[in-house]
A and B are shown apart, each in its own frame.
Chain A
Amino acid sequence: MSAAIELTNVTKIYRRYGGRHFATLKSALLRRSILQDLKPRETFPALRDVSFTVPAGSTFGVIGRNGSGKSTALKVVAGITKPTSGTVAVRGRISALIELGAGFHPEISGRENVFINGIMLGLTKREIQQRFDEIVEFAELAEFIDAPVKTYSSGMYMRLGFSVAIHVDPDVLLVDEVLAVGDEGFTHKCLDKFGEFKRRGKTILLVTHSLGLVERFCDEAVWLDAGQKREQGDPKRVIGAYVTDVERQEEQFLATSEAKATHDALEPGARQPSEGPVHPGEVAGDMNTTAEGRWGSGGVEISDVKFLGANNQPSHVFHTGEPFTVRFTVRAAKPVQDFVFGLGIFNAEGVCIYGTNTDVEEYVADSLQGEAEVSVVIDALDLVEGTYKLDLAVHRRDGAPYDYHRLLYTFRVKSRLKDVGIYRPRHRWEFAGPIKFRMKT
């Protein structure tokens, strides 16, 4: 199979001009630095020695974090920017869905804009004439096509831009994250259109953050990281490698931010003595008014809070359904008889997912002296994907806190499924009668 797009050792270095944001001619003349000001001062490599080949007729995904060079790669392929070194070869007519409706002029009608936009994308007037009805119909704008574009909603604007670009009938279609906009119905229409392109043997280069889309649509994927190619090949494998890397980074991020939060809150003297009673049910109530922090009398102290996953590995990122343990050390300055350990889990919106303590679970406190270890063991962490925060406390039965840690600990739950809600009951689907499903591939 021949190559539709071929990048060979492409390096793109962005240049920043001038020390200040914009140079002025006045200062250039005063400092006699016109020629210097026209030369770049700083450089920033957006792509470093990237090579990949997209076979004709295939759908090729480009994934990576923000700022990894995905969009630059697309612009280089589109010819909007030239690579600093290396070569790009593209065979066939290109249409780039990069900025939809980039050339629209607000004052003139949709009809006129379709013509001008089409010409910009390389169509002739005649070709646009032939496709005009189709373009308008696809954009669902028949009623408004003669109104000035400035009266369009942003969705209408996007639809028209998309429709023109897709009707250029390119051999190579470049798509940059354009499906994120538009309503559900239109997104489906666009996906159908991509499917049609695919069937007709056109080449599609797709830059997106939607990994599901890459997995579903693409024959091959490449993962760019900081301007370099990290992986290329089967989409599932590339996505897997990418997701693992993202999790590793998130873990690092959570660990450092937690270290910072607890460092601030747990410093000696940071704890505010407080006699306010604490009940497990109340924890959620004042959630929105209370920020993270730590308070209590200090008779018993909590320290060394750890999250443990499967195999008792400390972590901050867990998968739905995995075992999950919160383990912490308590230290009583002098022996106490009246103590209750409590725990509250909150989601990112601050809703209490679950709260409990040893008292409501009918553990009657007997004695605690010196140092001890407490673990809350959850056999399966049945939470949906998201970021969660934790309250941990030790207090008297009447609620007077010894040591209360409010929202100091953060962990993330990852899920392959995109189910939603605040609670994930264990469940399965059952079907009876003439009904069939296939597993998604």
Chain B
Amino acid sequence: MWHNLAQLPRYRGLIQSLVARELKARYRGSVLGFFWSFVNPLLLLTIYTFVFTKILPGANKDLEPFAVFMFSGLLPWTWFASSLLEGAGSLISGGNLIKKVLFPAEVLPIVSVLSNMVHFFLGLLILAGFMIYNHHYPDWGDLIWFPVVVLVQLVFTTGLTLLLAALTVHFRDIRDLLANLITLWFFATPIIYYYKMDSVKSFAWFFNRNPFFHLAVSYQELLFFPGPFGHLRWLPALALGSVLVFLAGYWIFDRLRDSFAESV
């Protein structure tokens, strides 16, 4: 496992060009191009903004402008969810490569995670647009923590994606289960509601065990809420947990590696 892990940096050229290919292939041949991948979050944003500002105006009076609040949580979530969904099927859809070319299999799920990370970065531009429009800016000093949070999410997402990709080769229904689980997970994470609501606090035990709760709250504190980055104290534990998830995911992936070429 350590040997294979150490080999990984050697493939960065390959990963780079595959990510570029992924992005190019997605944006080519469609008029709206790059905009398409934001139609879904923008649509969600429109609906939730409407619901929470017009229909249920009471619940979110601390969350103005709501669009900026929601985008701060929704963008990292979209990165996370799309990575898992695409990554889980990546070994099967890239089966040709694994079977016919001498090719390190972990590159495929990693490419899924990284290409979605690029989308995330592009989405930040849209978020910046909303911030400028609403004259609502983050605390610039706290933003030095932003790359750290992104890195933690990257490690966590990669670990989970590797695990799911390896298992999906053997259990094809994981992708269907996953789509449902992700919907549940979305609502179990304070992305469209405020994590400081009393109703959330009374389930603190539950929320504290949701790793994405901490990630979402970190993003919201950094990008939306004024004041110091209060969730910082959770970050070391989150980082450690993410590294453990990554190592566990990679370990299982590595154990199942030899079965891929025969089973995809």
CB of A38 within 8 A of CB of B102, answer: no
Which residues, 92 to 145 on A, are CB-close (under 8 Å) to B?
Answer: 94, 96, 98-99, 102-103, 105, 107-108, 112, 115-116, 119-121, 124-125
Q: Tell me whether chain A's interface is mostly helix, strand or loop, or mixed.
A: mixed
Q: Does any Cβ of A come within 8 Å of B170's Cβ?
A: yes
* Alpha-carbon distance A25/B29, docked complex (angstroms): 37
Neighbour of B28 across the interface among A22, A24, A107, A120, CB < 8 A: A107
Q: Which residue of A lies closest to B258 (CB)?
A: A82
Chain A contacts for B170, CB-based, 8 A: 17-18, 22-23, 37-38
* Alpha-carbon distance A116/B177, docked complex (angstroms): 33
Q: Does any Cβ of A come within 8 Å of B231's Cβ?
A: no
* Alpha-carbon distance A28/B174, docked complex (angstroms): 11
Chain A contacts for B174, CB-based, 8 A: 25
* Alpha-carbon distance A182/B170, docked complex (angstroms): 36
Task: List the count of A-B residue pairs having beta carbons below 8 Å apart.
Answer: 89
Neighbour of A80 across the interface among B17, B25, B101, CB < 8 A: B101
Q: Which of B25, B100, B173, B262 has the most chain A CB within a 10 Å cutoff?
A: B100
B4 to nearest A CB, angstroms?
Answer: 13
Given A25-B173, A108-B24, A125-B13, do A80 and B99 touch, yes or no (CB 8 Å)?
yes
Q: Does any Cβ of B come within 8 Å of A81's Cβ?
A: yes
Chain B contacts for A75, CB-based, 8 A: 261
Chain B contacts for A102, CB-based, 8 A: 96-97, 100-101
CB of B173 within 8 A of CB of A26, answer: yes
CB of B171 within 8 A of CB of A24, answer: yes
CB of B256 within 8 A of CB of A38, answer: yes
* Alpha-carbon distance A23/B25, docked complex (angstroms): 32
Given A17-B259, A112-B21, do A25 and B167 touch, yes or no (CB 8 Å)?
yes
Q: Does any Cβ of B come within 8 Å of A79's Cβ?
A: yes
* Alpha-carbon distance A80/B95, docked complex (angstroms): 12
Q: Does any Cβ of A come within 8 Å of B103's Cβ?
A: yes
CB of A108 within 8 A of CB of B28, answer: yes
CB of B101 within 8 A of CB of A22, answer: no
Q: Which of A15, A40, A105, A120 has the most chain B CB within a 10 Å cutoff?
A: A120
* Alpha-carbon distance A23/B256, docked complex (angstroms): 15
Chain B contacts for A28, CB-based, 8 A: 171
CB of A105 within 8 A of CB of B25, answer: yes
B101 to nearest A CB, angstroms?
Answer: 5
Chain B contacts for A148, CB-based, 8 A: 28-29
CB of B171 within 8 A of CB of A121, answer: no
Question: What are 15 sample pairs from A and B whose C-beta atoms fall under 8 A apart?
Answer: A14-B262, A15-B262, A17-B170, A17-B259, A17-B262, A23-B171, A24-B172, A26-B177, A80-B100, A80-B103, A81-B262, A99-B96, A107-B25, A120-B101, A124-B13
Closest 3 CB pairs of A and B: A99-B100, A25-B171, A107-B25
11 additional A-B pairs beyond A38-B256, A121-B101, beta carbons within 8 Å, are A25-B173, A38-B170, A38-B259, A80-B99, A98-B100, A103-B101, A103-B103, A108-B24, A112-B24, A116-B17, A116-B21
